[in-house]
Amino acid sequence: MEITRLVDTYLSWPKQALLSINEWGKYRVEGDFDEILITGMGGSGIVGDYVQVLSASKGATPVYVNKSHLIPSFVSEKTLVIIVSYSGNTIESIKALERALKTRGKVVTVSSGGALKDISTRHGLLHVQVPPGLLPRASLPAMLYAILGLLDSSGITIVSKDEALESVAFLEKTTPSCIEIGEEIASWLFEMIRENRLFVIATHSPYDPLAIRGKNEFNENSKLVAKVDIAPEWMHNDIVGYEFPVPSKFAVLEILDPADSVGAKLVEFMDRVYRLLDAQVYRLELKGSTLLERLVYGSLVLGLASVYLGVKRGVDPATTKSIAMYKSEASKIFSS
């Protein structure tokens, strides 16, 4: 995929989200569920983490996230199991689907096609179609809004259609600033890499999935190793590693929600520790009036920054050779 096409895919996130929102009500499941299990890997699995924090913030149905070929043993007829794989061909997700079919859980699949779609047709499962031809990680809004729509239409409201539409209008309005900040982060990080600094993304709960998503984006689009630090858990383990760290030079991207006074103070505390180690710090303040808006805003900034950084480093952001290498061997690993 050409780089300009990849950048355009990120820049068209508002349109991508709208396509899924236009299908709100098309997909629904009947049932009274005690919990939701979302299973998927990489750029698809992270969607489960986003739905989980959104649900937790609203006190809605508990959402469990599974990033494995295994299925937790709690799955029962009271569990809605959502298997999400953008390609539909990821072995762990196919294995999880096969295992889910052996439980009494209600199973729904989300993909752009592939084996997940075929298996769903064979077993008469509800299959949520997302647009094909994109990279999984660049399809975050398509999968996220499709799942939020499926849940709302099934009587499990985490995000209403109006809230979803408002978040898209917000994303559209803030896209120019996402580009600007994304470019700034990429230039800063490019210099940091030259100084051989280890890249750290630091944040506070509930932005855990945003930091992990950011790490994944820099791994895949920029081919960069990154560490994630999340407060307040960070204060109970990672902090000790920083007493005598190897390597000892850090570039820290601090992400905080300025409206969350406790979160901001936690990041201030982390900042003091990083600065004692002469770390270089870039601070990203999240914009948006809802958690959904802040998550999509942060995701777009980090996605763009990771692509711009990949370009500066002379790597191809779109190609993930090592994942392809793993996938070509994975069926042998899971066949035993």
**Which parts of this chain interact with ligand PA5 (CB under 6 A)?**
41-44, 85-87, 90, 93, 135-137, 220, 320, 323
Residue nearest to ligand PA5 (CB): 42
Residue placing its CB nearer to ligand PA5 in the complex, 209 or 263: 209
- Least spacing, CB of residue 304 vs ligand PA5, in Å: 15
Residue placing its CB nearer to ligand PA5 in the complex, 44 or 55: 44
- Least spacing, CB of residue 58 vs ligand PA5, in Å: 26
* Cα–Cα dist 211/209, whole Å: 5
- Least spacing, CB of residue 242 vs ligand PA5, in Å: 29
CA 296, 298, 299, 305 torsion-angle sign: positive
Query: 3-class SS at 20?
Result: helix
- Least spacing, CB of residue 68 vs ligand PA5, in Å: 12
Residue placing its CB nearer to ligand PA5 in the complex, 143 or 192: 143
Dump the DSSP string for 36-94: EEEE--HHHHHHHHHHHHHHHHHT-S-EEEE-SSS--TT--TTEEEEEE-SSS--HHHH
Residue placing its CB nearer to ligand PA5 in the complex, 20 or 87: 87
Query: How many angstroms from the chain centroid is the CA of residue 113?
Result: 20
Residue placing its CB nearer to ligand PA5 in the complex, 77 or 98: 98
- H or E segment at 69? none
- Least spacing, CB of residue 25 vs ligand PA5, in Å: 25
| Nearest Cα residue to 199 out of 335, 313, 316 | 313
Query: 3-class SS at 315?
Result: coil
* Cα–Cα dist 230/87, whole Å: 30
* Cα–Cα dist 185/179, whole Å: 10
* Cα–Cα dist 103/215, whole Å: 34
- Least spacing, CB of residue 264 vs ligand PA5, in Å: 30
Residue placing its CB nearer to ligand PA5 in the complex, 41 or 200: 41
| 35 bridge partner residues | 79
